[in-house]
Amino acid sequence: MMKRVIAVLDLPPRRSLPNVRASFQVTATRWNAEVLWITNPLHSCHPFWQKMFVCEHVQSLLGSSHVLQLDNDMVIRSDCPAPFDLVPPTDFAMVSGRQSPQRRVDRASWNQQAHEEWARRCDVIPAPAWTHPNGGLYLYGTDAFGLMFAEIISNLLPTGGKHDLGCDECLIVNQLWTYHRSAIRFLPVDYNVNLHQNDCWVSNPVMQSYIYHFVARAKERLPQVRWQRTDPVELPYPWDKRSRAIVERWGNQPPESFILENITHIETAANLLAAYPAMRIIVTERRARQPIGCEAIRNHDRQGQFDVTETAYLNPIKLLLRLGPNARRVGFSVHSIGENRIDS
């Protein structure tokens, strides 16, 4: 089997923190991989450009390798499956940069403008805006993509070493789109969660997915994050009694799916999805066929309050935004009270 390598540019002035290094090392042991900490500059250029030299560096030190190239402001949860098993070394895997519904990917978006400007500078085809990756994680084989990185590096001097407009992401995705389009693969967002785009997660120290990327102001939270899974599992919202009782009952043997009968129980859903990364949740929304009067609503009836004020449409939005990337494991079913039929 080809050697597995986790390669990390760990350059001053922002060296990796102890919890980053510990999570990488423990994970590498589980994955039967080697961690390569690159602590000296590979070239006299900006770190965005130095990322392009990592492939050659790994090849020269360790030979043909399947490389997971990570930034040093990321943390891996201790139960994270190996992405090496998801993508062969002949493909190039990334994680999408669009992780928020507010992130535009149309023809007038920042993504598209950046792709087009770097394509002009490097004389390649601009990749579509929707392909822009969340820089920080690249998974590839050195044999398959060594020449591609060499071609990118050949643009360093002609472009004057500029490092604006999402430099490394644009350099890589444009080159892939031009010459290796069929090799592009996208991993689930779980493998590179951009906390700058997931506000509901950044302040919670309990990791709710596999790999966190502490981008921009989110870096302030990096020292507090807890990446080691406990038994019983630590919940991001420990005060939620419903989910605590369910986790105690299930232990390490959850069902494949769980029916959440009240859409306002957001913290219950968040805890269960964080605790059981393979489980799906089906939200059943019960709607009364007859109008409900205000006098019938009690303070604890949160669903009824939304119904009577004609604002129940806010519930799915609140739920999905709070769940972040875990929302991809949520489905909805709606039926009226008194009816047996369910419309999915």
For the chain, give the mean pLDDT: 93
Q: Per the structure block, which two tokens stand in for 106? A: 């149309």
Cite the DSSP H helix spans in the chain: 18-31, 47-50, 54-62, 110-122, 142-153, 167-179, 199-202, 241-250, 266-275, 302-308, 314-323
Whether the model pTM is above 0.95: no
Give the burial string for 77-94 (b: 16+ CB within 10 Å, else e): bbebeebbeebebebbbb
For 320, the 3-state DSSP assignment is helix
Nearest Cα neighbor of 191 from 210, 219, 207 is 210
pLDDT tens digits, 160-190: 999 999 999 999 999 999 999 999 999 999 9
Q: Per the structure block, which two tokens stand in for 199? A: 């506000």
Helix (H), strand (E) at residue 68: strand 65-70
Nearest Cα neighbor of 342 from 327, 331, 326, 330 is 331
pLDDT band with cut points at 50, 70 and 90 for residue 343: very low
Q: Per the structure block, which two tokens stand in for 194? A: 């951009």
Q: What are phi and psi of 93, to 5 degrees?
A: -110, 145
The reported pLDDT for the residue numbered 205 is 97
Nearest Cα neighbor of 138 from 68, 76, 50 is 68
The reported pLDDT for the residue numbered 289 is 56
Domain boundaries of the chain, sorted by first residue:
3-194, 231-336
Spatial contact of 37 and 2, defined as CB atoms under 8 Å apart: no
pLDDT tens digits, 153-165: 999 999 999 999 9
The reported pLDDT for the residue numbered 114 is 98
pLDDT band with cut points at 50, 70 and 90 for residue 217: very high
pLDDT tens digits, 284-339: 976 655 666 777 777 767 777 777 887 888 889 999 999 999 999 999 986 554 44
Specify the higher pLDDT residue, 1 or 281: 281
Tokens 């709606």 found at: 334
**Could you give the CA distance from residue 68 to residue 82 in angstroms, rounded to a whole number?**
10
The reported pLDDT for the residue numbered 297 is 75
The reported pLDDT for the residue numbered 305 is 78
For 229, the 3-state DSSP assignment is coil
pLDDT tens digits, 23-71: 999 999 999 999 999 999 999 999 999 999 999 999 999 999 999 999 9
The reported pLDDT for the residue numbered 335 is 58
- Helices (H), strands (E): how many in the chain? 11, 12
Q: What are phi and psi of 112, to 5 degrees?
A: -65, -40
Nearest Cα neighbor of 75 from 6, 36, 20 is 20
Spatial contact of 203 and 222, defined as CB atoms under 8 Å apart: no
The reported pLDDT for the residue numbered 333 is 87
Second-level CATH architecture of 3-194:
Alpha-Beta Complex (3.90)
- End-to-end C-alpha distance for the chain, whole angstroms: 44
The reported pLDDT for the residue numbered 286 is 64
The reported pLDDT for the residue numbered 302 is 72
The reported pLDDT for the residue numbered 291 is 60
Nearest Cα neighbor of 136 from 82, 182, 195, 60 is 195
